[in-house]
Amino acid sequence: MKKLKVGVIGCGKISGAYLNKARHFDCYEITACADLELDRAVAKAEEFSLAKACTVEELLADPEIDIVINLTIPQAHTDICLKALNAGKHVYVEKPLAITKEEGKQIVELAAAKGLRAGCAPDTFLGGGIQTSIKLIEDGWIGTPIGATAFMIGRGHEHWHPAPDFYYKVGGGPMFDMGPYYLTALVAMIGPIRKVAGMTSTAYPERKILSQPLYGQMIQVDVPTHVAGLLEFHSGAIGTIITSFDAFGGTSLPRIEVYGSQGTLIVPDPNTFGGSVQIRRVDKKEFVEVPHTHGFTEAGRGLGVADMAQAILSGRPHRASAELAYHVLEAMEGFHIASDGGRHYEMTSSCQRPTPLPLGLSNVSLDA
């Protein structure tokens, strides 16, 4: 089968998860990488046996490259996506799509104008955990979804990330960083969002880096670090979400629960591909674990790229699309706008619920 050639731009912390050849798919291969800091690209190319390490400009000018995976920091996402599209490449970017909805819209519109694909993480909703949850909802096991809750409670990334500054600048914060996993899963399960409300706060105006190599340096916090949001879906279901970098995690709160007229679904951590799916039906007193209906429970990053590559080869829509990511980005910004203005925020965008994966796929192939 034809394999599309892929180049990675941004060789930092997350890049290894994409470059890991143990997780390969039959429709694409990563052949080149680039970074602002060329030595980082050279080191990754050596570690993962890539044919080429080069500058961003050289990678974008390479006629062999079909798809660019953009793994730069959020503040550079739009610039690199637009450059890749203008160079005639399809692009797949890490979350969030962009740091503002205006920038995100530019990516969606340029891709459409050029007839190229733009895709965006997260792709965890294509994993067996969320796909099993989607199947249960679609098959009516909880009846009509009435509401959902989602919680991401943590103390921030400065205790492990080597360069955590960007998580506290515009485009960072717990909602822009972790919200995409939760909101994408909710939209994939329940459908698009009509309006949101929110309240935000910032507990610590400065934060100390606790990881190496920048241990002890202070970060100026420019964004809210505790964000509580309400969502009304087009279906009428109501969602509640809290994302925090200010609180200690390990609480008894679930990651995601979906409440329906006939039962409740416990959905696994949307920052993983697998996890335990549990259901309690109207006539039962206990939750029971449901075996996964779908594979890719250990898929790791790259599943969304594989789906987009296969979609390019087959001509079908891809699932982790920039349109979906743009809708999620607008909701994330909407929580902050609603908080600042003391009002609801009416969504201007909508999106299709991504088509669920079919049953019975192998662990290296997506559907044609």
Ligand X SMILES: NC(=O)c1ccc[n+]([C@@H]2O[C@H](COP(=O)([O-])OP(=O)(O)OC[C@H]3O[C@@H](n4cnc5c(N)ncnc54)[C@H](O)[C@@H]3O)[C@@H](O)[C@H]2O)c1
Q: Which residues bind ligand X (CB under 6 A)?
A: 9-15, 35-37, 40, 56, 71-74, 76, 80, 94-95, 163, 177
Quote the tokens at residue 291: 């075996």
Shortest CB 279 distance to ligand X, Å:
29
Of 72 and 264, nearer to ligand X (C-beta) is 72
Shortest distance, position 126 Cβ to ligand X, whole Å: 15
Q: At closest approach, how far in Å is the CB of 184 from ligand X?
A: 13
Distance, in Å, from the CA atom of 39 to the CA atom of 219, rounded to the nearest integer, reads 26
Give the C-alpha separation, 357 to 331, whole Å: 25
Nearer to ligand X, 178 or 242 (CB): 178
CB nearest ligand X: which residue?
12
Task: Kindly state the smallest distance separating residue 71's Cβ from ligand X, in Å.
Answer: 5
Amino acid letter at 332?
Answer: M
Query: Own/partner pairs for 102-108, CB < 8 Å, 24+ apart?
Result: 103/77, 103/78, 104/78, 104/322, 104/325, 104/326, 104/329, 104/330, 105/326, 106/78, 106/82, 107/78, 107/81, 107/82, 107/322, 107/326, 108/322, 108/323, 108/326
Closest distance of CB 274 from ligand X, Å: 17
Q: Is 302 left (phi over 0), alpha (psi -120 to 50) or beta?
A: left
Q: Which is nearer to ligand X, 15 or 244 (CB)?
A: 15
Closest CB to ligand X among 11 and 279?
Answer: 11
CB of 166 to ligand X, least distance (A): 6
Quick one: 13 or 195, whose CB is closer to ligand X? 13
Which pair of structure tokens corresponds to residue 18? 């994409």
CA Rg, the chain, in Å?
A: 20
Residue placing its CB nearer to ligand X in the complex, 70 or 339:
70
